[in-house]
């Protein structure tokens, strides 16, 4: 799960990591109350599950009711990189002396957690040259290691102590919540010498959700994504008009790449899982039927042991039940494909032997 | 490093045939485990025992004995290979049972295993000098000899190309293309789509690279992590000279979205297709634009 800033900060607070005073809301009525409680001036920050919102104008200063009435609705209705605003965070401005960087992240290749710290913060860490990196096994950070990291990024005395405490708390959060990434960027040193988390990003391991009921409140899934999950599918929604369906994440990604290469705009990445049956394909079409912007469906299945006739049956049922009336372009690898083609002869489903031909067909249809 | 070929195909007999190594199936009575146990038997895999706690003493398909624990199964059969079909939340327990009992190659099929559980199992495997393939892998196959996995049999044929793949269906698709083009496979290994893999790309490469029968390699990667980049650097450092062709899925995927696999996510530039493709280029590995192009590029490499 990719937590939004305000959710990450709730976790920070729970683990005793300092953050500026802030309140989150999802509508302007609540926002007005929050504004009164917090008091001007403050910043309005859009909450989106994607980086780069500052540059996109998603963080605005606000110092009066008039400004608030103008900016709050603007920010609530904005989209950044295709992501709609999920919530708004009002936050008191901090008196910043210096910005640092700190994160604990799962180094996948080394199969261990890694501390990354830097005396430069507030920018993307990849663009920072001076990084301190420490491997810490399953994520536990002892005081000595934390102290060494603090010293390496130039912190001493009270600031070193505060940093050690903050890093150890971040480590506890990472382990207990099974995070793949817990990042504080920027970690600010305020004019009065206090260390504070100005922004936060936490990604947890979706596969451990079953033992983290307490994190379920942070789940920001669309209705369609929830339905897909119930069916055992994985779905990513996008803004295009071609629904891309397949079995196996790699194959669907590959199909998605080719659609985009050929000038098509995918509306979905829909992986129905390793196998493919009449039921799973019918369920996938049911999900797609709820997306009004879709004007063409592309299906790429590698069956191996699947009979293509059982999949063709799903298309026929979908047309018979008036579930869909848009054309389907399908490439089904598996046995009995001649029969499947015969079955689909008088429907709006076209079967192809090569995925390239199916993609050309669906892109032409969708771009009509 | 533990020799995967030695574990999978053992010694040749007087007629030059490899011995059939015994295999245990953990979770053999489940719907998925039993279906695939049958398919593996059909392929010729020598399944000697199943494990399902609570069903010890019964028989699978009236012939294969089922045991309460891997320990019992290993004691009775001497098997060093096990394939696991238990639900993700029971994976760590099943893996510990296997590794503590002397299993040297554990093929971990379950998807959705928590990362911390996978990390713990991998730590134990290191201590026991054992190999874990997966989790979330289609498994491993030496065509014509042994299939320890859930891959369909049809795409694969005997030959001299090793295929390493993060994705299952792309492994089938590309192996099928290779087979059609006359490139049979010496071994194919499913790395798995999770963020943390028991056998990483670089480990799989090291396992297969010195096999005298090997003529070429195909690496099927996808967005997420940096295992392709690390492999490319390793290929440069070791001066490996046999032809390699790559494919990377997810070039057009949006950032910060998990694309089906738990591990398929781009964070900033970390895990991006551009980063992988440019490292492959440095290592002189051509990258196919589409799965169908892999065999074509390989033919070009083999003839140059």
What's the complex ipTM?
Answer: 0.95
Same domain flag for B160 and B127:
no
Is residue A303 situated within a structural domain? yes
Same domain flag for A137 and A246:
no
Compute the distance between CA of residue A140 and CA of residue A128 in angstroms, rounded to an integer. Answer: 25
Which pLDDT tens digit goes with each residue over B231-247? 999 999 999 999 999 99
| CB-based contact, B254 to chain A, within 8 Å | yes
CATH classification of the domain holding A26: 3.30.1490.20
Phi-psi region of A16 (alpha: psi -120 to 50; beta: other; left: phi over 0): left
Of the candidates A91, A183, A283, A313, the residue annotated as catalytic is A183
Which pLDDT tens digit goes with each residue over A171-187? 999 999 999 999 999 99
A205 is in which domain, residue-wise? 96-214
Residue B284 three-state SS: coil
Tell me if A88 sits within 8 A of A46, measured CB to CB: yes
> Is pLDDT at B102 greater than 70 in this prediction?
yes
> Is pLDDT at A189 greater than 80 in this prediction?
yes
| CB-based contact, B255 to chain A, within 8 Å | yes
Same domain flag for B166 and B244:
yes
Query: What is the average pLDDT across B187-206?
Result: 97
Q: What's the total number of domains in chain B? A: 2
**Shortest CA gap A35–chain B (Å):** 31
| CB-based contact, A207 to chain B, within 8 Å | yes
Is residue B184 situated within a structural domain? yes
Is residue B113 situated within a structural domain? yes
| CA-based nearest residue in chain A for residue B256 | A50
Same domain flag for A289 and A341:
yes
Same domain flag for A248 and A325:
yes
Same domain flag for B168 and B235:
yes
Q: Which of A188, A214, A240 is the last residue of a domain?
A: A214
Is residue A296 situated within a structural domain? yes
Which pLDDT tens digit goes with each residue over B124-155? 999 999 999 999 999 999 999 999 999 999 99
Same domain flag for A340 and A269:
yes
DSSP single-letter state for residue A243: E
Is residue B116 situated within a structural domain? yes
CATH classification of the domain holding B167: 3.40.50.261
Same domain flag for A245 and A261:
yes
Is residue A145 situated within a structural domain? yes
Query: Given pLDDT bands bounded at 50, 70 and 90, which one contains residue B86?
Result: very high
Same domain flag for B293 and B169:
yes
Q: Which of A67, A92, A117 is the last residue of a domain?
A: A92
CATH classification of the domain holding A335: 3.40.50.261
Which pLDDT tens digit goes with each residue over B245-296? 999 999 999 998 999 999 999 988 899 999 999 999 999 999 999 999 999 9
pLDDT the model gives residue A305: 63
Same domain flag for B194 and B120:
no
CATH classification of the domain holding B18: 3.40.50.720
Kindly determine whether residue B116 and residue A355, on different chains, have CB atoms separated by under 8 Å.
no
Residue A359 three-state SS: helix
CATH classification of the domain holding A149: 3.30.470.20
Kindly determine whether residue A205 and residue B268, on different chains, have CB atoms separated by under 8 Å.
no
Same domain flag for A112 and A51:
no
Residues 147-166 of B with CB under 8 A from A: 150-152, 154-155, 165-166
Same domain flag for B222 and B294:
yes
Is residue A299 situated within a structural domain? yes
Concerning whether A148 is annotated as a catalytic residue, the answer is no
Cβ-Cβ contacts under 8 Å, B176 against chain A: 333
Is residue B144 situated within a structural domain? no
Same domain flag for B104 and B235:
no
Kindly determine whether residue A106 and residue B251, on different chains, have CB atoms separated by under 8 Å.
no
Same domain flag for B212 and B94:
no
Q: Which of B102, B133, B164 is the last residue of a domain?
A: B133
Average pLDDT of chain A, as a whole number: 93
> Is pLDDT at B184 greater than 70 in this prediction?
yes
pLDDT the model gives residue A309: 85
Same domain flag for A195 and A242:
no
Is residue B140 situated within a structural domain? no
Same domain flag for A245 and A355:
yes
Tell me if B192 sits within 8 A of B262, measured CB to CB: no
> Is pLDDT at B191 greater than 80 in this prediction?
yes
Kindly determine whether residue B115 and residue A305, on different chains, have CB atoms separated by under 8 Å.
no
pLDDT the model gives residue B1: 61
pLDDT the model gives residue A279: 87
Same domain flag for A351 and A241:
yes
DSSP single-letter state for residue A241: S
Query: Given pLDDT bands bounded at 50, 70 and 90, which one contains residue A82?
Result: confident
Tell me if A186 sits within 8 A of A196, measured CB to CB: no
Q: What's the total number of domains in chain A? A: 3
Structure-token pair, residue A269: 């990445």
Same domain flag for B76 and B177:
no
Same domain flag for A134 and A232:
no
Q: Say which residue the tokens 């032409």 belong to.
A: A364
| CB-based contact, A269 to chain B, within 8 Å | yes
B55 is in which domain, residue-wise? 4-133
Same domain flag for B121 and B45:
yes
**A268 half-sphere exposure, CB direction, 13 A CA radius:** 29
Is residue A14 situated within a structural domain? no
Is residue B146 situated within a structural domain? no
Cα end-to-end distance, chain B, whole Å? 33
Minimal CA–CA distance to B4: which of B171, B172, B129?
B129
What are the backbone angles phi and psi of residue A230, rounded to the nearest 5°? -60, -35
pLDDT the model gives residue A345: 87
| CA-based nearest residue in chain A for residue B196 | A108
Cβ-Cβ contacts under 8 Å, B269 against chain A: 126
Q: How many CB atoms lie within 10 A of CB A33?
A: 12
Same domain flag for B107 and B25:
yes
Structure-token pair, residue B171: 């492994």
pLDDT the model gives residue A215: 95
Query: What is the average pLDDT across A329-347?
Result: 85
Q: Would the pTM of this model clear 0.90, i.e. be above it? A: yes
Query: What is the average pLDDT across B79-98?
Result: 97
Which pLDDT tens digit goes with each residue over A105-139? 999 999 999 999 999 998 888 888 899 999 999 99
Same domain flag for B173 and B269:
yes
Is residue A151 situated within a structural domain? yes
pLDDT the model gives residue B275: 97
Is residue B225 situated within a structural domain? yes
Percentage, residues of chain A above pLDDT 90: 78
Kindly determine whether residue A258 and residue B165, on different chains, have CB atoms separated by under 8 Å.
no
Same domain flag for A131 and A201:
yes
Same domain flag for A242 and A358:
yes
| CA-based nearest residue in chain B for residue A259 | B252
pLDDT the model gives residue A69: 97
Give the residue ranges of DSSP H helices in B44-88: 70-77
What are the backbone angles phi and psi of residue A98, rounded to the nearest 5°? -155, 150
Is residue B145 situated within a structural domain? no
Q: Which of B133, B165, B188 is the last residue of a domain?
A: B133
> Is pLDDT at A354 greater than 70 in this prediction?
yes
Is residue A241 situated within a structural domain? yes
């Amino acid at each position: 799960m990719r937590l939004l800033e305000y959710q990450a900060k709730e976790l920070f607070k729970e683990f005793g990591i300092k953050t500026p005073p802030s309140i989150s809301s999802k509508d302007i009525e609540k926002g007005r109350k929050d504004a009164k409680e917090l008091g001007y001036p403050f910043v309005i920050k859009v909450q989106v599950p994607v980086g780069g919102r500052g540059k996109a104008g998603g963080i605005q200063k606000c110092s009066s009711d008039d400004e608030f009435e103008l900016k709050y609705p603007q920010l609530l209705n904005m989209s950044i990189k295709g992501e709609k605003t999920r919530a708004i965070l009002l936050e008191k401005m901090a008196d910043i002396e210096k910005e640092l960087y700190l994160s604990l992240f799962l180094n996948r290749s080394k199969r261990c957690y890694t501390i990354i710290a830097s005396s430069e913060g507030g920018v993307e860490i990849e663009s920072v040259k001076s990084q301190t990196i420490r491997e810490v096994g399953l994520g536990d950070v002892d005081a000595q290691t934390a102290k060494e990291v603090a010293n390496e990024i130039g912190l001493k005395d009270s600031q070193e102590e505060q940093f050690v405490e903050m890093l150890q708390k971040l480590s506890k959060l990472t382990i207990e919540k099974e995070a793949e990434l817990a990042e504080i960027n920027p970690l600010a040193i305020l004019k009065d010498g206090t260390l504070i988390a100005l922004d936060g990003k936490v990604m947890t391991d979706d596969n451990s959700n079953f033992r983290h009921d307490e994190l379920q409140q942070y789940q920001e899934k669309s209705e369609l994504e929830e339905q897909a999950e119930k069916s055992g599918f994985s779905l990513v929604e996008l803004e295009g008009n071609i629904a891309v369906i397949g079995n196996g994440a790699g194959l669907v990604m590959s199909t998605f790449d080719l659609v985009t290469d050929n000038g098509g705009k995918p509306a979905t990445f829909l992986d129905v899982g390793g196998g493919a049956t009449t039921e799973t394909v019918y369920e996938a079409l049911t999900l797609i039927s709820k997306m009004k912007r879709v004007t063409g469906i592309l299906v790429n299945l590698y069956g191996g042991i699947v009979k293509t006739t059982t999949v063709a049956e799903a298309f026929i049922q979908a047309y018979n039940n008036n579930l869909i009336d848009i054309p389907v372009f399908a490439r089904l690898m598996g046995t009995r494909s001649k029969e499947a083609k015969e079955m689909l002869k008088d429907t709006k489903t076209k079967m192809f032997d090569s995925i390239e031909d199916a993609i050309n067909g669906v892109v032409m249809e969708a771009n009509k | 490093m533990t020799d995967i070929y030695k574990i999978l195909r053992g010694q040749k007999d007087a007629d030059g045939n490899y011995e059939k190594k015994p295999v245990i199936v953990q979770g053999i009575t489940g719907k998925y485990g039993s279906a695939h146990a049958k398919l593996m038997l059909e392929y010729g895999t020598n399944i000697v025992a199943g494990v399902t706690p609570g069903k010890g003493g019964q028989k699978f398909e009236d012939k294969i004995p089922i045991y309460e624990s891997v320990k019992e199964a290993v004691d009775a059969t001497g098997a060093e290979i096990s394939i696991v079909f238990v639900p993700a939340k029971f994976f760590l327990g099943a893996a510990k049972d296997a590794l503590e009992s002397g299993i040297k190659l554990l093929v971990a099929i379950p998807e959705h295993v928590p990362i911390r559980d996978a990390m713990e199992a991998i730590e134990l495997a290191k201590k026991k000098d054992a190999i874990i393939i997966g989790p979330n892998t289609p498994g491993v196959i030496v065509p014509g000899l042994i299939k320890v996995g859930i891959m369909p049999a049809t795409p694969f044929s005997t030959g001299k190309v090793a295929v390493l793949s993060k994705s299952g269906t792309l492994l089938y698709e590309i192996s099928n293309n290779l087979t059609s083009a006359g490139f049979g496979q010496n071994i194919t290994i499913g790395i798995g789509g999770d963020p943390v893999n028991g056998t990483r790309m670089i480990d799989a490469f090291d396992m297969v690279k010195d096999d005298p029968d090997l003529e070429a390699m195909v690496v099927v990667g996808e967005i997420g992590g940096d295992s392709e980049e690390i492999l490319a650097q390793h290929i440069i450092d070791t001066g490996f000279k046999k032809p390699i062709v790559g494919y990377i899925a997810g070039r057009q995927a949006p950032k910060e979205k998990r694309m089906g696999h738990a591990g398929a996510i781009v964070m900033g530039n970390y895990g991006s297709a551009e980063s992988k493709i440019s490292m492959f280029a440095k290592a002189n590995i051509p990258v196919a634009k589409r799965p169908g192009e892999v065999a074509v590029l390989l033919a070009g490499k083999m003839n140059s």
